[in-house]
Amino acid sequence: MGRKRLQEATDGRPTVHTVAARAGVSIASASRVLNGVGGSPETVRKVRAAAAEVGYVPNAIARSLQSQRTELVALAVEDIGNPVYVEMMRAIEAVVAGSGRQLLVHATGGRIDNETALLRRLAHRYVDGMIISPIRVTADHLAAVTDSPVPVVVVGQLAEDAPVDNVRTDSRSGIALAVDHLLATGRRRIGFVNGPLDTVPGAARDAGFRAALAAHGIPLDENLVEVGDFQYAAGREATQRLLDRVEPDALVCANDLIAAGALHTLLARGRRVPTDVALVGMDDTELARMMFPQLSSVSLGSAERGRRAAELLLQRIDDPSLPPRRAQVAPSLVVRASSERTVTARAEVTA
């Protein structure tokens, strides 16, 4: 008696029917095994062997419709080339992959309309959940997050009563760590090169710099403060403008990309780092260790924030009834050659 003809899809691909016929089991049994529901050990063995033999590939769309899960998670950040987001993305991807899901990454350019449109697209359920790290937070953001039919975790500073899972740090206290360190090394004319003040990190870091000087009884010289963008070229140009006005003996930069630009300008103008001008960045990315001299930098725990955000998201996917959670990552200062000393300080920050 000849072998039963194997049924294939119209495009020639093997189907569940194909696998069931080859394994000699019912279609229902083959379907349960192929969808991970299980079966007797012998049935599982036979179905898996048959699937491998005929080259069966699961239909992801059909499985998604059946389970109401896509097994995809999205991450939305301003700039996927920024080292801080690279570190965050790696940590998120490791957690997501451990759950059997895949990560999709979106670059928003920091544009509010891009971010809110992306959040509203979640109504189509193209992913099981999203992690977003906006540098500006508006009422539209919060409305889109709270109205989302799938879970969203926000990495960044939100109001305490925001009804959303949130992972944050305290960059204001982080700036204070940098200022305290520079004052301890004898620096007194400390400049600050920041990103845009209409962003959450820009506003927090500006407030932190001013508060840190005030805590030491040092009057603020506005000539020592310059604003640009959170990019290398902007940091270089902002430092040029600052040096055209004043002669600082130290610079605090709002991120490591700005600090890289500042170092370029300082060296181009003949300033020795750290002999003439000490330099401290923020984020403590791989870039800080690649610079020469190596950059002192305030770590805001990018990888840790990513890891915690991914864990919160997966928990929320599994149990949507959980109350909103908060996770706080404390900043720490890593001192390297750009500001002379080699010690590590840690800030205790309340949630």
Range 268-283 average pLDDT? 97
pTM of the model: 0.79
**Does 348 have pLDDT greater than 60?**
no
Give pLDDT tens digits for 314-343: 999 999 999 999 999 999 999 999 998 533
Q: With the CA atoms of 99, 102, 73 and 305 taken in that order, what torsion angle do they form, in degrees rounded to the nearest 10?
A: 70
Q: Which of the pair, 238 or 350, is modelled with greater confidence?
A: 238
* Distance (Å, whole) CA 308 – CA 313: 9
Please indicate whether residue 307 or residue 37 has the higher confidence score (pLDDT). Answer: 307
Residue 64 has pLDDT above 70, yes or no: no
Residue 19: pLDDT over 80: yes
- What string of DSSP letters covers 201-230? HHHHHHHHHHHHHHHTTPPP-GGGEEE--S
Structure tokens belonging to residue 104: 């999709």
pLDDT for residue 347 is more than 70: no
Instruction: Flag the least confident range among 109-113, 173-177, 233-237, 310-314.
Output: 109-113
- Confidence tier at 252 by pLDDT (50, 70, 90): very high
Round to whole Å and give the CA distance between 309 and 303: 10
Q: Which pLDDT value is given to residue 105? A: 95
3-state secondary structure (DSSP) of residue 169: strand
CA distance 62 to 39: 21
Question: How far are the Cα atoms of 119, 128, 201 from residue 116, in angstroms, in the given order?
Answer: 5, 17, 19
Mean pLDDT, residues 297-302 taken together: 98
Give the span between the Cα atoms of 104 and 87, in whole angstroms. 15
| Predicted confidence band of residue 38 (pLDDT cuts 50, 70, 90) | low
Position 39 scores a pLDDT of: 78
pLDDT at res. 349: 34
Closest CA relative to residue 108, chosen from 135, 126, 83, 90: 135
Amino acid at 101: R
Q: Does residue 47 carry a pLDDT above 60?
A: yes
**73-115 tens-digit pLDDT:** 999 999 999 999 999 999 999 999 999 899 999 999 999 999 9
Q: How confident is the model at residue 37 (pLDDT cuts 50, 70, 90)?
A: low
What is the chain's mean pLDDT, rounded? 89
Q: Which residue has the higher pLDDT, 32 or 326?
A: 326
**Residue 1 vs residue 161, higher pLDDT:** 161
If pLDDT is split at 50, 70 and 90, which confidence band does 55 have?
confident
Does position 351 have pLDDT exceeding 90, yes or no? no
